[in-house]
Homo-oligomer: A and B are copies of this chain.
């Protein structure tokens, strides 16, 4: 089943809806992973604006979780990167989330922008101290993320704050799919309609159950939390006007266009 968060053009009101036949949005009152009931309104998908599917309490990201990607990052940074010996989760910032078909804005002083197409886990139940065998039970569903990265800042800065968390650097969506098997899926990333990366979504160094079990030994996962599972493959350098599709078979396609900022940054302040 597919759930979208949407608004109606001209109205600030947001709601969740169930998406039927990839075309019809049946509005609900409440949220999909908690108490809710069907409302009377329904819309064509083309009539609504798709919003970020969930604004999480905490935004987790696996980071380095596919072996080929780690080797590519070594080449890119010129630094040896050890394959992580254990599933250590990281974080991204809620401020950076944008929806399907919203624009990624490239800061004026950014020099090297890349995509990272990722599977996103959406937590549906509070979870603490769960075993790997029971870990998947706290998942509500899955969506798609693009962990947009500025590689020069990733090398130069002490943290990933600018490299990965500038406003608009975290596209996520378009919807949450509850019936999905990562082991049988392929992730493909297209730039302007041309396939540039593809990998088996399930080829993770540490799987979803391993991460969730280990995380919940030390922390509580809450409904609405999201866990981005990392990426594989190579991104070309992106430029103004490029449209990036992250497509995961069985989930859908997250599409965003990259545009260069035309603002007035504070010169000399970096």
A residues near B, CB below 8 A? 55, 57-58, 63-64, 84, 86, 88-96, 107, 128-129, 131, 157-159, 161-162, 165-167, 213-215, 217-222, 225, 263-266, 269-270
Contact = CB atoms under 8 A, between A and B. Distances in A.
B95 A63 contact: no
B269 A217 contact: yes
7 contacts: A88-B161, A89-B159, A90-B159, A91-B92, A95-B219, A166-B219, A167-B218
A245 to B, nearest CB: 25
- SS class of chain A's interface: helix, strand, loop or mixed? loop
Contacts of A270: 86, 214, 217
A216 to B, nearest CB: 9
Contacts of A264: 129
B220 A129 contact: no
Given A63-B159, A217-B270, A220-B167, A263 B90 contact: no
B265 A58 contact: no
Q: Which of A128, A131, A220 has the most CB of B within 10 A?
A: A220
Q: Which of A86, A158, A165, A218 has the most CB of B within 10 A?
A: A218
B88 A157 contact: yes
Contacts of A159: 63, 88-91
A-B pairs, 3 with minimum CB distance: A88-B158, A90-B159, A166-B218
Given A165-B219, A219-B167, A214 B91 contact: no
A269 B214 contact: yes
Nearest to A107: B218
Nearest to A88: B158
Q: Which of A95, A96, A107 has the most CB of B within 10 A?
A: A95
A158 B63 contact: yes
Given A167-B219, A218-B166, A270-B217, A161 B265 contact: no
A93 B167 contact: no
A213 B267 CA distance: 12
Nearest to A222: B95
A56 to B, nearest CB: 9
A128 B265 CA distance: 10
A220 B93 CA distance: 11
A215 B269 CA distance: 11
Contacts of A89: 159, 161
A157 B217 CA distance: 15
